[in-house]
Amino acid sequence: GAGVSQSPSNKVTEKGKDVELRCDPISGHTALYWYRQSLGQGLEFLIYFQGNSAPDKSGLPSDRFSAERTGGSVSTLTIQRTQQEDSAVYLCASSSGNYNEQFFGPGTRLTVL
């Protein structure tokens, strides 16, 4: 069956530009998470959506980062005025409930020049 998909798989951008990263979760999964993995680091939690509840934005590193989830399905992570330190692999995961197994997408590798 279809797993979590993310697009683009790779994104190279210039410092100062805005980027949008997309996540298509597994159909029917109500919970959606964004993480990022910087070079040599573990996966860092960014933001969490559960159903129609207000998202948990506690992991977003700055106000340049935002995310939305339309119709309880597709999610878009937006990074404004990108900086070189934003370079990382951005991973999306979905699960059928708050504490159920999280299924990860393949990630988007973002490179900010």
Partner 1 sequence: DQQVKQNSPSLSVQEGRISILNCDYTNSMFDYFLWYKKYPAEGPTFLISISSIKDKNEDGRFTVFLNKSAKHLSLHIVPSQPGDSAVYFCAGMNYGGSQGNLIFGKGTKLSVKP
Give contact residues for partner 1 (rule: CB under 8 A).
4, 31, 33, 35, 40-45, 48, 50, 56, 59, 91, 93, 95, 97-107
Q: Measure Cα distances from 13 to 56, 75, 82, 113 in Å.
A: 27, 20, 8, 6
Residue 62 in contact with residue 70, Cβ under 8 Å?
no
- What minimum distance in Å lies between the beta carbon of 16 and partner 1? 28
- Burial label, 105 (beta-carbon count in 10 A; 0-12, 13-18, 19+): buried
- What minimum distance in Å lies between the beta carbon of 33 and partner 1? 6
Q: Indicate the residue among 91 and 110 with the shorter CB distance to partner 1.
A: 91
Q: Indicate the residue among 20 and 56 with the shorter CB distance to partner 1.
A: 56
Q: Indicate the residue among 7 and 50 with the shorter CB distance to partner 1.
A: 50
